[in-house]
A and B are shown apart, each in its own frame.
Chain A
Amino acid sequence: MGNKQTIFTDEQLDAYQDCTFFTRKEILRLHGRYHELAPHLVPMDYTNEPDCKIPLALIVNMPELKENPFRNRIVESFSEDGMGNLSFNEFVDMFSVLSEMAPRELKAIYAFKIYDFNVDNYLCKEDLEKTLNKLTKEELTPEEVELVCEKTIEEADLDGDHKLSFADFENMISRAPDFLSTFHIRI
């Protein structure tokens, strides 16, 4: 843009605009935020798409994520290597999915990934226990957690395999009216 230094070419910005739910300005702002996280690692000039990644520990410290009990899972779900290192593209991806404009289906897929702690493509009892403990900061007794898990699976499991597949999850999410507004982080 008209800045003293070009961060992206017009072509790049167009591509971002087409592929995410952000406008040019927001992409530039996101780059600013990304750069802020690790000024010595991330170059200002992104015109030749440098290959650099920021480790999970730094990203998790963003004020938007800092207090979120699922912060590690969020970052991990969006990182290609599964370890939580995010390139700028993945960073943009993360906030694009969590933005207001993202459709329900897209949000549901990533929410499913986030809640799937053991990455087995099912939400089983173990995942549910972890989710509940994170949600309530371990305030429920183990028996209560157990009971909630059982009831939850009983309620949402459609095909009777005692764990929640993506289809079950999507079906449940499609009826939770607040999901769209709560699964949203303002950047």
Chain B
Amino acid sequence: MVQEEARSLPLPPGPLMTKSESVLSPVRLSVRSPADEEGVHDSFQQLIAEHSDNGAASSALELQQLQSDLDEESRDNMPLSGPEHEHRRRQGASDLECDGGEMDPIQGEGWSSDTLKILSSMPSRTIGRNRGAIISQYCNKTLKLRRRRQTRPSIRDFSPSSRPSIRSYGMEGDTTDAEVSKRERLVNNLQNLPVSDRVRMLRGMPLSVAEKKEIRNLVMQKEKRILSNKKLSCCSQLKYYIIIAARKSWYSWLSFLHSLQPWQTLLKRVSGRFGTGVLSYFLFLKTLVFFNVFLFLVTGAFLVLPQAVHPPYRDTTSFSGLELLTGAGSFSHTVMYYGYYANYTLPRRSRDEGGGQNASTLTSDSQQFSYNMPLAYFFTIGMAFFITCIILVYSMSKTFGRSFRINKSNSILTMKTFSCWDFKVIKKKSVQIMSENIGTQLKELLAELTQKHTKSTFCKRFCRLMVHGVAWTICIASTTGCMAGVYYFSEFIHKDLQQNHRNLYVNPLMKEAKLLSLPTVVSVINLLLPALFNLVGWMETYESPSVFAYVAIGRNLMLKMSMLGILCFHWLGRVAPEYKSIGLTCWEDFVGQELYRFLLMDFIFTLLDTLFGELLWRLFSEKVLKRKRKPVFDIARNVLDLIYGQTLAWLGVLFSPVLPVVQILKLFLVFYIKMSSVMLNCQAPRKPYRASQMTTIFITLLCIPSLLGASVCVTYTMWSITPSTSCGPFRTLDTMFKAGKHWMEILEKDNPSLSVLSKAHTYFVENPFFLFVGAGIFLIVIYFHSQVVDGQRKIISLLQDQIQNEGEDKKFLINRLQSVHKQKQDAGKRLKSQDSTC
């Protein structure tokens, strides 16, 4: 490409070339657009001419030219009038102004028109402006892409004009045709790209839609022509039509998906009023809805549906209404809970239905179309977790890449200036608040920059440390206290259940209502302690708001995770081993119900929080305190609540495969309630909010403690806790994990030739060695990636140095140009004076 362009320049007069080629070549190579080439070339030709005769004019022709140059210059310096000249004059003035720093003496001088002309045609100045520049830039891009792909049709598929030929080089010398031919080449390149790449390129081009449409039309025409030229065989014609049809349907599918996206207008209203920060809460909620929909689709398709088609037995308990709260009662023996699922292979025909519950084998002819419920249960839950994990890790890494760029820069002020205006905000008052915010932030930044860091005295620092220490002590102490409280309370409940089990004359309704006490206590703690943390947070002073936010998140997270830890211990360590002592036939059902209750309580307390914390507080502060300020929506705490709820849902999938539905309903309601509450009660946040970094952190939190914790619990349950002996798909097994082995044994018994498979299972799946190998490989991959990032960081710093050097070079060249021009000007004057004396 570069070579072509170099050749395409009209050569300057022969002998001069050799002399100045070394100076010229870098400039020439960096020039892309033909239109620029002309301008630069002309200017340099003059420069070359200058060099060759050392300022001494040799011919009258040249003298004339100089004269005209001088005239032009003086015209340039004259004040211009009229709107169309205004801009040009301003440009010149601003150039002078901007470069009039004291640092560089040469830059202080006014530049001549030639220098300005060259400067204005430099490639970096024409980016985004010059159509030719853009087209040739994209020409290069497409070419690169094409080379990388290497999957293009062979050369005979090209139309003659797209093949590189000597003639096309000649054509490019002619600058009027250059753009046309460039465009033709771009069209060719685009045509040879696969459709998806082509569309991506087209969309990314900084050209106007009209122009893009034209290019697209040209590409399409060319494609059609080639297709008709080739005289398609029937087969490839069919292929062509299939491709077109597939594309059409893909587009309609896309627009269908798009119309599925819920809450578009609501989201727009929120973002118009509160900006990116509050919007990120609702977007996070939307992501959670999608995760749950996915989870439910998986469990619904592979567990609930097959089991619902083959109900094992009917056991109807009357519906009392309390079920909605406790999840127990008539809900117990439905597809909602683990205990309902069969431990045998589901038959294909319904006449086998109702066969022995503990039958684990069926006749061999139905086995071909059968559905092994224990295996399905095991793998569905496992795969659901695995895929969720992959999606989460993927989106986590993506947002990481987006929000934490490799090289942390120190240009905060620039970023503030150019990227802090939220173009989404459209409400007048919010706009006002935002510009005030930006003003104060800029002032703060300035104060920080101008004043050198004042050394705080030892006493002050000590005081601050003391305050932090006290704050952390309070937080940790209260969290530990709550943990202990929940621990003993759950023990008490457990003991109470044991006693009640012996005592037969207890109202069953009372018994069920009692079950609600533990979730209520935990939810109360979850509501009150964050408020305490907030109070403590006001006591402290932090240097930056982001540290403050991180500390608050850390404390809330500590609380929620410790609560969940205690609860998991209660369920898996206390209820599971001695479930018979509290009168349960199926502890998995019990845990599932508990999780249902927790989810519900969490929802109810979110409602209460919205009502009291936002609505009533707003009314109170408006009516009683007569303050105009409304409460600010606490994004971090609300997101953490969502994460807590999601952890509960993930924990519960194993015990209650329908739990994602409950979670989806809950999230829908929360969305509408929070949306209306925010619109009604809150005002735009005053603090700056780094939306993308916070989103990254929340996704990370959703992955690392939440999903990881839930999957550790689920894996532990599957691996080493004995399932209930009289219900659920794993009732005859020691652990759920044995389901695979059990199936293997059956398979081996039925079909001895498959014993290899069974052996493989014993060696590979049950051997921890391979687990270690897998983990090791994973770690190695992570290590390599971090090394690559490290290398890239080094390259970036090298490139930055290089940019600086280039800048120096540019300055040097401009100065050189300027001095040469000066010489020329002096020579002209001298000649003029000689003329006049003659």
Chain A contact residues, CB within 8 Å of chain B: 14-21, 23-26, 63-70, 78, 80, 87, 89-90, 92-93, 96, 98, 102-103, 105-106, 109-113, 115, 118-122, 124-126, 128, 131-132, 135-137, 139-140, 144, 147-148, 151-152, 155-156, 158-163, 165-167, 169, 172-186
CB under 8 Å from chain A, chain B span 137-189: none
CB under 8 Å from chain A, chain B span 96-123: 97-99, 101, 103, 107, 120
Q: Which of A98, A135, A167, A175 contacts B409 (CB 8 A)?
A: A175
If A135-B417, A144-B446, A152-B413 touch, does A121 touch B125 (CB 8 Å cutoff)?
yes
- C-alpha gap A16/B210 in the complex (Å): 9
- Among B419-427, B516-524, B543-551, the one that faces the other chain is B419-427
Is B435 a contact partner of A135 (Cβ separation < 8 A)? yes
Given contacts A106-B206, A121-B124, 20 further A-B contacts (CB under 8 A): A18-B216, A68-B423, A125-B94, A140-B443, A144-B443, A147-B446, A151-B413, A152-B413, A161-B99, A161-B811, A162-B99, A169-B418, A172-B414, A172-B418, A175-B407, A176-B419, A177-B403, A178-B276, A182-B423, A182-B424
- In the complex, what residues of B have CB within 8 A of residue A137's CB? 432, 435-436, 439
If A24-B251, A144-B446, A183-B419 touch, does A19 touch B807 (CB 8 Å cutoff)?
no
- Among B253-261, B655-663, B675-683, the one that faces the other chain is B253-261
Instruction: Say how far B283's CB is from chain A's closest CB, in angstroms.
Output: 10
- C-alpha gap A156/B803 in the complex (Å): 12
- C-alpha gap A111/B95 in the complex (Å): 21
CB under 8 Å from chain A, chain B span 680-704: 690-693
CB under 8 Å from chain A, chain B span 785-810: 800, 803-804, 806-808, 810
Q: Which of B417, B426, B690 contacts A64 (CB 8 A)?
A: B426
11 contacts between A and B (CB under 8 A): A96-B203, A135-B420, A152-B411, A155-B411, A159-B808, A159-B810, A160-B811, A162-B107, A173-B418, A182-B276, A182-B421
Is A158 a contact partner of B807 (Cβ separation < 8 A)? yes
- C-alpha gap A153/B443 in the complex (Å): 17
Instruction: Say how far A141's CB is from chain B's closest CB, in angstroms.
Output: 10
- In the complex, what residues of B have CB within 8 A of residue A147's CB? 446, 450
If A159-B806, A175-B407, A177-B690 touch, does A151 touch B449 (CB 8 Å cutoff)?
yes
Whether B80 sits at the interface, judged by CB under 8 Å, is no
- C-alpha gap A123/B436 in the complex (Å): 24
Instruction: Say how far A63's CB is from chain B's closest CB, in angstroms.
Output: 6
Which label, helix, strand, loop or mixed, suits the secondary structure of the A interface? Answer: helix
Q: How many residues of B contact A (CB 8 A)?
A: 90
If A158-B807, A177-B690 touch, does A109 touch B127 (CB 8 Å cutoff)?
yes
Is A166 a contact partner of B405 (Cβ separation < 8 A)? no
Quick one: which of B413, B436, B438 has the most chain A CB within 10 A? B413
Q: What per-residue 1/0 map shows which CB atoms of B389-406 lie under 8 Å from chain A?
A: 000000000000011110
Is B203 a contact partner of A144 (Cβ separation < 8 A)? no
If A18-B199, A67-B426, A177-B403 touch, does A93 touch B208 (CB 8 Å cutoff)?
yes
- In the complex, what residues of A have CB within 8 A of residue B129's CB? 121
- In the complex, what residues of A have CB within 8 A of residue B213's CB? 15-16, 19, 89
- In the complex, what residues of A have CB within 8 A of residue B428's CB? 67
- In the complex, what residues of A have CB within 8 A of residue B768's CB? none
If A67-B425, A144-B443, A162-B99 touch, does A178 touch B209 (CB 8 Å cutoff)?
no
The residue in chain A whose Cβ has the minimal distance to the Cβ of B270 is A186
- C-alpha gap A68/B425 in the complex (Å): 8
- C-alpha gap A169/B414 in the complex (Å): 9
The residue in chain B whose Cβ has the minimal distance to the Cβ of A23 is B255
Instruction: Say how far A28's CB is from chain B's closest CB, in angstroms.
Output: 10
- In the complex, what residues of A have CB within 8 A of residue B208's CB? 78, 80, 89-90, 93
- In the complex, what residues of B have CB within 8 A of residue A119's CB? 87, 91
- In the complex, what residues of A have CB within 8 A of residue B422's CB? 182
Is A115 a contact partner of B435 (Cβ separation < 8 A)? no
- C-alpha gap A21/B91 in the complex (Å): 34
- C-alpha gap A125/B417 in the complex (Å): 13
- C-alpha gap A139/B692 in the complex (Å): 27
- C-alpha gap A161/B111 in the complex (Å): 14
Is B807 a contact partner of A186 (Cβ separation < 8 A)? no
Whether B19 sits at the interface, judged by CB under 8 Å, is no
- C-alpha gap A65/B427 in the complex (Å): 10
If A25-B259, A67-B431 touch, does A109 touch B128 (CB 8 Å cutoff)?
yes
Q: Which 9 A-B pairs rank lowest in CB-CB distance, beginning with the nearest? A: A159-B807, A155-B411, A136-B439, A177-B403, A124-B98, A179-B419, A19-B212, A176-B419, A139-B439
Is A182 a contact partner of B431 (Cβ separation < 8 A)? no
- In the complex, what residues of B have CB within 8 A of residue A131's CB? 417-418
If A137-B435, A173-B418 touch, does A113 touch B411 (CB 8 Å cutoff)?
no
Is B258 a contact partner of A162 (Cβ separation < 8 A)? no
Instruction: Say how far B259's CB is from chain A's closest CB, in angstroms.
Output: 6
Whether B415 sits at the interface, judged by CB under 8 Å, is yes
- C-alpha gap A184/B212 in the complex (Å): 22
- In the complex, what residues of B have CB within 8 A of residue A156's CB? 411, 414
Instruction: Say how far A64's CB is from chain B's closest CB, in angstroms.
Output: 6
Whether B741 sits at the interface, judged by CB under 8 Å, is no
Whether B442 sits at the interface, judged by CB under 8 Å, is yes
Whether B229 sits at the interface, judged by CB under 8 Å, is no
Is B807 a contact partner of A160 (Cβ separation < 8 A)? yes
- C-alpha gap A159/B124 in the complex (Å): 12
Q: Which of A120, A165, A174 contacts B94 (CB 8 A)?
A: A120
Whether B217 sits at the interface, judged by CB under 8 Å, is yes
- C-alpha gap A179/B268 in the complex (Å): 18
Whether B717 sits at the interface, judged by CB under 8 Å, is no
Instruction: Say how far A130's CB is from chain B's closest CB, in angstroms.
Output: 11
- C-alpha gap A103/B691 in the complex (Å): 18
- C-alpha gap A123/B533 in the complex (Å): 45
- C-alpha gap A151/B443 in the complex (Å): 13
